Amino acid sequence: MNKKATLIVHSGDLDKVYSAFIIGLGALSMGMEVSMFFTFWGLMRLRKGQLNRAPLSRMNMFGLGRWMIRRKMKRAGVASLDKMLSDFVELGGKILACDMTMDIMGVKKESLRTDVISNYCGVGTYIKEAMESDVTLFI
Amino acid sequence: MNKKATLIVHSGDLDKVYSAFIIGLGALSMGMEVSMFFTFWGLMRLRKGQLNRAPLSRMNMFGLGRWMIRRKMKRAGVASLDKMLSDFVELGGKILACDMTMDIMGVKKESLRTDVISNYCGVGTYIKEAMESDVTLFI
Amino acid sequence: MNKKATLIVHSGDLDKVYSAFIIGLGALSMGMEVSMFFTFWGLMRLRKGQLNRAPLSRMNMFGLGRWMIRRKMKRAGVASLDKMLSDFVELGGKILACDMTMDIMGVKKESLRTDVISNYCGVGTYIKEAMESDVTLFI
């Protein structure tokens, strides 16, 4: 059986969502199964057109804005979040959307990236996946 | 032997403490053993009367204040943090309080929720629990 | 074979970097193998002279500044971050530096603590270590 990684994406901060996808893609490319469970502010990033609008958690720390970070990432050959998300799904990664967050925040299914989400579910589904995982992270 | 989850609650942010308890309760209800180790700002939430006073990490992101989040959670059928904490303990979950944080911050035992805390301990106890766990998260 | 812990240090916040080293040292002292992978803002703390300059994530929450936190930690017998880092390496812990962050942020090797870093590497190396770990955390 393949090794498995299950990531909770709770944060909506640009840098943390980047980290999540870099880890998720890295794990897939090493032959692992990977599920990413998007909840709270993380789920908000799965709304249509919102993936690259995430705020940086320390935007002003180095005087770098969102635009600058993206330019630097591009120069360093790092793909955009949209590209990483579609690569992730193409390589067999699973995107899970937290239905409780949808209820609380009043987020309708049709406002989400339904083209990449494989399941709308709750903590029970997350726990089942996490129990059988070798790597579990809360991001 | 049961599967086991060990969560570090380092953050005191309302949304992260919610996530921690939702995961903890979910894991218990799936038959796992669960320990939650409260440290730094997380431990501050275990002071009497402080659990529901936690600040939101992105309070203004959607223009939602603490009061609004709670109303939305109530409408979506999500229990209060106080209720989740007592359910967690009743279902057999263990609450561990970081004694180093108590030292640093000058927090006395009597100012904490001694009714729910099962152990006042340090990183050694956490590591022992984490080593045998199937799910480990830092929240 | 020894039990193993692999920590991602993504945050550069003083309190989180403390937590990371306390956990890392605790795990080493319980006989575990430990790798800490420094990325994004975490990597910035590995620049020469920057370890103790990390901002607190909730600096004003209790009206405690960085200086006050350090004084309280000293009184409680908690070592400085510099001391913890050198103890960690002496006890056999591995410090990994994220080369992608170096590229993005334009961080040169010579500006980093090369005396403690055992490897400059990417997500693939992290995943290899995490796959065989018993404890995985994202800090």
CATH value at residue A23: 3.40.1260.10
User: Does residue C83 sit within a domain?
Assistant: yes
User: Does residue C3 sit within a domain?
Assistant: no
How many structural domains are present in chain A?
Answer: 1
What domain range includes position A126?
Answer: 4-138
How far apart, in whole angstroms, are the C-alpha atoms of residue A40 and residue A78?
A: 26
Classify residue C92 as left (phi > 0), alpha (psi -120 to 50) or beta. Answer: left
Helix, strand, or coil (residue A48): coil
Distance from CA of A104 to the nearest CA of B (A): 5
Q: 3-state DSSP helix/strand/coil percent for chain B, to nearest 5?
A: 45, 20, 35
Average pLDDT of the residues in B11-28: 94
Interchain contact C43–A (C-beta under 8 A): no
User: Does residue C2 sit within a domain?
Assistant: no
Interchain contact C138–A (C-beta under 8 A): yes
pLDDT in tens, A9-63: 999 888 899 999 999 999 999 999 999 999 999 999 999 988 876 655 544 444 4
Give the count of beta carbons closer than 10 Å to the beta carbon of residue A110: 7
Q: What are the tokens at A25?
A: 């893609």
How far apart, in whole angstroms, are the C-alpha atoms of residue B87 and residue B79?
A: 10
User: Does residue C104 sit within a domain?
Assistant: yes
Computed from CA positions of residues A115, A33, A81, A42, in that sequence, does the dihedral angle turn out positive or negative? positive
* Whether the complex's predicted ipTM surpasses the cut of 0.95: no
Residues of C with CB below 8 A from B128's CB? 30
How far apart, in whole angstroms, are the C-alpha atoms of residue A56 and residue A15?
A: 6
Of A34, A36, A33, A35, residue with least CA distance to A11 = A36
Interchain contact B56–A (C-beta under 8 A): no
No. of H helices and E strands in chain A? 6, 5
pTM, full prediction: 0.92
pLDDT in tens, B52-99: 766 555 444 444 566 676 777 777 778 888 999 999 999 999 999 999
How far apart, in whole angstroms, are the C-alpha atoms of residue A39 and residue A30?
A: 25
B137 to A133: CB separation less than 8 angstroms, yes or no: no
C29 to B124: CB separation less than 8 angstroms, yes or no: yes
Of B72, B81, B64, B68, residue with least CA distance to B12 = B81
Residues of C with CB below 8 A from B131's CB? 3, 30, 32, 134-135
Distance from CA of A51 to the nearest CA of B (A): 15
Q: What are the tokens at A55?
A: 């705020």
